[in-house]
Structure 1
Amino acid sequence: MKEITRRQFIATATLATGFALAVQPISAQVITTDEKGLVAGAVKIPVKDGEIPAYRAMPAKGKNFPTILVIHEIFGVHEHMQDVCRRFAKLGYLAIAPELFVRQGDVSKLSSIDEIRPVVAKVPDTQVMSDLDATVDWAMKSSKGNTNKLGITGFCWGGRITWLYAAHNPKVNAGVAWYGRLVGDDTELTPKHPVDIAANLKVPILGLYGGKDTGIPLDTVEQMREALKSSNSKSKIIVYPNASHAFFADYRPSYREEAAKDGWQRLKAWFNQHGL
């Protein structure tokens, strides 16, 4: 069989429909946001080597919407991330979730986290930063987005990217990072981590973390807090003592309603405070 090149792969890539295979069965507490009053659905974002799929949601009426980048977990832009975009659109934002693993593989079709991790491990930070720059450009030129009012939020894998993109693009007004890893090994693909960029961060980031998150030890959260003291970003971190990892993920058993709802209220207030 002829090998498919990266360019050919992303040219034919489509957005996931429904929830990722690896997260089945879906919890009964899952939140569903309708499309009433919205323009919502899959779009294509032009990038350096072709196009990547993304999910876009915005109000059906109006223009010049404040723009929010929604950065997915390791499961890609499946139904939960799409619903988060619709929640933002209901609040008057243009929300866009680009599929950032598409060159490395379609994680929505993989049945376990153990299958997904090797795909995610091949994703270079430089590629992600470039794709997000392209997404911002597309929002301004093609989707009624006001990118002078630009926010970012991300979950798990996307939480780490939220910190890094805010350092990469100082034009971001504010960000909210949900339980993203803060420290890690420096590699060719991931040369820096949030703790490495904290001291020079200019963008205000709100970090939301779980006190019982076994993957993100509290000592690393404290390390990040200490590093942020040297910055002028006015970033801060909130820890929910009884929450574990992925406490916002209402489709999974890890969901903690009280922490999730409080975090969402804090997100809205944080974006409002910083002009979004």
Structure 2
Amino acid sequence: MAMLIIFKRVSLCCFDEACFSLLPLAQRENIDYNSHKYIQKQDKGVTCHMCYDDNARPPLPPSEAGAAHGEDIVLETADGNRFAAYAAHPGKPTGAQILIYPDVRGLHQFYKELALRFAEIGITAVAIDFFGRTAGISSRDDSFEFMPHVQQIKLETFFADVAAALAYLHSGEGAHRSTFTVGFCMGGTLSFISGTQDFGWAGVIGFYAGMTRDFGGRGTLLEQAHKIRYPVLGLFGGADQNIPASAVQRFDETLDEAGVEHEIVIYPGAPHSFFDRRAVEFADASADAWQRVLRFIAA
């Protein structure tokens, strides 16, 4: 376990219950609840918005890039749900593969590019969408009103989607490869929660995973953490006011108590969504995060 903690006041980002519960009542009144980007209405020092907009790009991994190709696909669950996904295949597979869970917006360009970055270094990757049951399979831009769909997510149907994606990854040569998950924001939460199920992961990874959302009455991440069955890598921003350090520490303690192999890293001064090529001031944190992810996969 590695834990680095420092605090600095920054703007809030990414919708989460914690985002609003941390605000004084006077400041909550200045948030535009009619926009699911939650843009600041007045200069009160608080801004809440989506994790990644359409201009965000994943940082480049430290390894030399090789050949890779990606394609939009549609997957189907055992109960007939069809949902969008993006598959990226390496020219020279290294023997590992990864399932990518996006943020609250569902599948968008950031995660397609991330899948390609993994494939360029030999890791087969599939990024999935969460909203096939409620929003269909069409592509969406950052004007998409995601919150009504987020509120309808149920773990049972999410796990069915995961099973379909896992079946795709395990087809052909993928049948015997080590398979990991990685998620961001809400996807980070779901990455860890999917670690409570018998999917056979080699490990579960989460960037800035929220601790407080209860999907369909099954409990929050903190309430389910003791059930995780696989090694955990958790990456958090020290200046992320969406996710209090006390919650991250409790997550770490729960994994300790449950005997779950884990590494928790908090990057000093880094905000929520720091893993973005545009955030040059956090390039060192992003580079370290990449290194830790790749070491975790290679272990």
- Same fold flag (TM > 0.5): yes
Q: Is the 8 A contact 2:202 2:231 kept in 1?
A: yes
Give the whole-Å Cα distance in 2 for the aligned partners of 1:149 and 1:30: 23
- Give the aligned partner of residue 35 of structure 2: none
How far apart are the structure 2 equivalents of 1:124 and 1:229? 28
Aligned equivalent of 1:54, options 77, 82, 85: 85
Contact 2:118–2:125, Cα closer than 8 Å, also in 1:
yes
User: 1:195 offset after TM fit, Å?
Assistant: 1.4
Asked if 1:159 is matched to 2:196, the reply is no
Query: What amino acid is the match of 1:92?
Result: G
What is the alpha-carbon distance in structure 1 between the residues aligned to residue 139 and residue 103 of structure 2?
Answer: 11
Residues 17-36 of structure 1: per-residue CA shift (max 9 Å, x gap): xxx9x825x26x76589x97
Alignment TM-score, normalising by the size of structure 1: 0.79
RMSD: 2.8
Separation in 2, partners of 1:116, 1:130: 20
**RCO greater where, 1 or 2, for CA within 8 Å and sep 6 or more?**
2
1:246 aligns with 2:273: yes
- After superposition, what is the alpha-carbon deviation per residue over 1:111-159, rounded to whole angstroms, capped at 9, x for unaligned? 26xx3222211111221111011111122226x4245511110111110
Deviations 1:29-75 (A, max 9, x none): 76589x9722311112121224222100011356x942200111112
Aligned residues: 244
Q: Could you tell me how far apart the structure 2 residues matched to 1:222 and 1:107 are?
A: 37
Q: Within 5 Å, give how 1:1-80 maps onto structure 2.
A: 23-24=53-54, 26=55, 37-47=67-77, 48-60=79-91, 65-80=95-110
Does 2:198 match 1:169?
Answer: yes
Give the distance between the partners of 1:133 and 1:254, measured in 2 at CA. Answer: 37
Aligned to 2:157: 127
Consecutive unaligned residues in structure 1, runs of 5 or more: 1-19
CA distance in 2, matches of 1:91, 1:43: 21
Q: For residue 8 of structure 1, what is the aligned residue in structure 2?
A: none
Structure 2 CA distance for aligned equivalents of residues 170 and 38 of structure 1 = 26
Identical counterparts, % of pairs: 23
Which secondary structure state, in structure 2, belongs to the residue aligned with residue 168 of structure 1? coil
Stretches of structure 2 lacking an aligned partner (at least 5 in a row): 1-49
2:284 corresponds, among 228, 250, 258, to: 258
Q: Deviations over 1:139-188 (max 9, x none)?
A: 2226x42455111101111100110011113510112110011234x46x
Aligned in 2, Cα 1:73/1:254: closer, same or farther, shift over 3 Å? farther
- Greater shift, 64-73 or 79-88, is seen at 64-73
TM-score (norm. length: structure 2): 0.73
Output the amino acid matched with 1:88: F
Instruction: Say whether the 8 Å CA contact 2:184–2:208 is kept in structure 1.
Output: yes
